[in-house]
A and B are shown apart, each in its own frame.
Chain A
Amino acid sequence: MRHLSEYRDRRLVEKLASAISGIAPADRVVTLMEVCGTHTMAIARFGLKQLLPASVRLISGPGCPVCVTPKEYVDRAVALARRPDVVVATFGDMMRVPGSEGDLATARAEGADVHVVYSPLEAVEAAAAAPDKKIVFLAVGFETTAPATATALRVARSRGLNNFYLLVAHKLIPPALGALVEDGSAGLDGFLLPAHVSAVIGTAVYEFLPRRYNIPCVIAGFEPVDIMAGIYMLLRQIRAGAARVENEYARVVRAGGNVAAQRLLAEVYAVTDTAWRGLGPIPGSGLVLREEFAPWDAARALPVDVPATRPDAGCICGAVLTGTKSPADCPQFGVRCTPRAPLGPCMVSSEGTCAAAYVYAYE
């Protein structure tokens, strides 16, 4: 089956929708959480929620890496950008995430050197091309992105580039899932697990969810057929009273994951405790550069004065990230908080729950 066509086949999707209606519970509402921001966007973009029966409630989780990065990180990035000897290189959707004193886009408009790149390797090239500048790449993202930044760092090191830095805020998904279930407030009956994170980390890492918490899990791809099939598989487990980790995305995700990527991560990063916006501190949920890479760690090698973090006025991003509130519950949604003038990251990130609701479904 081909990516852009067969996995978006309308008849297949409709068949799956029927099958879902057939096995959805009649007597109660089940709450399924899709964790990955790309799932959130795909579901909104293809209008998939409309195809689900009322007894199946699909909520979004904290799978938007930009959204769960604490504001302090943005403030540090802006402070670095304002240094005349620094060039900040970043993925596009960090540009307008609000900091305590403005965002990166404003800093750029005021003269700071900030570049949008499509890959961390571009930032390495920028460092090679500008030896008199310090290039800082904003290393945000989950296990999908972290191997790429690890590769970029190794390339920079092997080329003797001492003006390339990473400001690391990579986070790990499985500990966040545990924290969500422990918290209990979202009342979850199943997880639709991320596709490409799983391609890196494999399937066994999720076993603790069904084993310890009796929660059904299905790893699903991003196309409409994948998502609907994943939901069907979750409902099938729920109906059978079962709880295990199933893999809908077997064409990409192998049980052992991507060993080469995992080795890269282990070589470059150490696991650390870190704070997630909305979820608070989660032990063992973040990555930090190993000691031998300290010279390339912007947090250690490039000190800057970071302003005291000001909380987002009226933003309920934290509750949205944990699935306890939806964008529609927010009084600011579409009124005082829009993609053009966001109050918090969920409205401006390309994987943000509020952004998905605004762009694809706002009426």
Chain B
Amino acid sequence: MRELINEVFARRFGNELLAALDDAASLNAAGPLAFTTDAFVVKPLFFPGGDIGKLAVCGTVNDLAVMGATPKWLSASFIIAEGLDEEVLTRVVMSMAAAADEAHVLVACGDTKVVAAGDADELFVTTSGIGVYEDGKPARAPLAAGDKVIINGPVGAHGLAVLVAREALKLEAPLVSDCAPLGSLCAAIKRAAPGVKFMRDATRGGLAAVLNEAVPPNLNIVIDEKEMPVDEAVAAAAEILGLDPLTIANEGKVVAVVPAAEASAAVDAMRAHPLGRRAAIIGEVVAGAGRVLMKTAAAGTRVVNMPVADQLPRIC
């Protein structure tokens, strides 16, 4: 086990916090902190556009970033099924190291447990993360009628990419996960739109879940299906599989609600960022009763409810 830790983890994550290999990492932060955790059980471990390691880093980094915090430190704990190829583990860890570099975070501490082969499905990863509120508080404020809803790019890719990889579905469409760290994009949104009221990454449950979580009981959110970016490959695959792109998980998409006056500055700032080239205003907040509505491409309006069942298990 010591070998595993030294060889694979300490070497690949390479930072002095971890290298101390003490019982805990000692951190220094002044001011209010954001703290989050997430477990990753995605199957298969590797899929187009990512893997469990990259997911584990980006997922937790993004939860901090959308709060308006600057992600700083992660912990990473691994539950490994006995017999897992060491090469697989190394690939995962290398991927995590690369993602951590890209996200400018340090993996400060970790843990490993090996369990009997049947007791865990290859590998489970849990990451916790700490971020610093540079402005002293979360980027959250009550929504108001007139606020605009913005997304940074097309939806539906991640869940489909994992599903297709897992089920080995013979779809020709190139489906690639959008897994990416959103720290610098969220920072750009905050700079361009300091009055940003809400940001959330559209993971499990997709855009539909985020909008339903965001809408307060005295307002409605109305989005326009025509403004919602969806790649043709995703739309086609979703159509064949009977899935709604609105409800499919993403791992590199942030939904932001900003005051109307700051909306175009926010979109411009996002489009200047590699992860926001196709940012678009997709809707707005209006007076209402806690509903999310969508003006469909065909003209009629329909309700967008909180997605009901777990459409796609083990996609993150």
Contacts and interface: CB of A to CB of B under 8 A. Distances in A.
B298 A350 contact: no
Interface in B149-172: 167, 169
A47 B295 CA distance: 8
B297 interface: yes
Contacts of B299: 10, 13-14, 17, 46-47, 51, 224
A338 B308 CA distance: 9
Given A4-B236, A4-B239, A362-B305, A50 B300 contact: yes
A48 B169 contact: no
Interface string B297-310: 11111110100110
Interface in A348-363: 350, 358-363
B242 interface: yes
B29 to A, nearest CB: 42
Contacts of B301: 47, 50
Query: Which one of A96, A360, A361, A362 has the greatest number of beta carbons of chain B within 10 Å?
Result: A360
Interface string B203-237: 00000000000000000000000100000100110
Given A4-B235, A118-B167, A361 B302 contact: yes
B309 A339 contact: yes
A325 interface: no
B246 to A, nearest CB: 10
B305 A46 contact: no
Contacts of A263: none
A47 B305 CA distance: 14
B305 A10 contact: no
B291 interface: yes
B241 interface: yes
Nearest to A42: B298
A360 B303 contact: yes
Given A10-B226, A339-B309, A363-B291, A47 B239 contact: no
Given A8-B297, A340-B308, A350-B242, A46 B302 contact: yes
A300 interface: no
Nearest to B295: A47
A360 B309 contact: no
Given A4-B236, A46-B302, A118-B167, A359 B296 contact: no
Nearest to B294: A47
Contacts of A49: 300
Contacts of A10: 226, 297-299
Given A10-B226, A350-B242, A363-B303, A224 B298 contact: yes
Given A4-B236, A118-B167, A45 B296 contact: yes
Nearest to A4: B235
Interface string A31-64: 0000000000000111111110000000000000
Contacts of B241: 118
A46 B309 contact: no
Given A4-B236, A118-B241, A46 B296 contact: yes
B41 to A, nearest CB: 17
Contacts of B297: 8, 10, 46, 224
Given A118-B241, A339-B308, A339-B309, A362 B298 contact: no
A360 B309 CA distance: 14
Contacts of A13: 298-299
A71 B169 CA distance: 31
Contacts of A350: 242
Given A4-B236, A118-B167, A361 B298 contact: no
B204 to A, nearest CB: 16
A229 to B, nearest CB: 12
A279 to B, nearest CB: 25
B234 to A, nearest CB: 11
A362 B242 CA distance: 20
A14 B169 CA distance: 37
Contacts of B242: 350
A45 B302 contact: yes
A340 B242 CA distance: 18
B308 A359 contact: yes
Interface string A7-22: 0111001100100000
A119 to B, nearest CB: 10
A141 B298 CA distance: 28
Contacts of B298: 8-10, 13, 46-48, 224-225
Contacts of B300: 46-51, 224
Interface in B269-316: 291, 296-303, 305, 308-309
Interface in A304-363: 338-340, 350, 358-363
Interface in A89-148: 96, 118
A17 B298 CA distance: 11
A118 B302 contact: no
A9 B167 CA distance: 33
B44 to A, nearest CB: 17
A17 B169 CA distance: 39
Interface of B: 167, 169, 226, 232, 235-236, 239, 241-242, 291, 296-303, 305, 308-309
Given A10-B226, A48-B298, A363-B303, 10 more contacts: A8-B298, A46-B299, A46-B302, A47-B299, A47-B302, A48-B300, A51-B300, A224-B298, A224-B300, A359-B308
17 contacts: A4-B232, A4-B236, A10-B226, A10-B298, A10-B299, A13-B299, A17-B299, A44-B302, A50-B301, A51-B299, A224-B297, A338-B308, A339-B309, A350-B242, A361-B302, A362-B305, A363-B291
Q: What are the nearest 9 A-B pairs in CB distance?
A: A47-B300, A224-B298, A46-B298, A47-B302, A339-B308, A13-B298, A360-B302, A8-B297, A46-B296
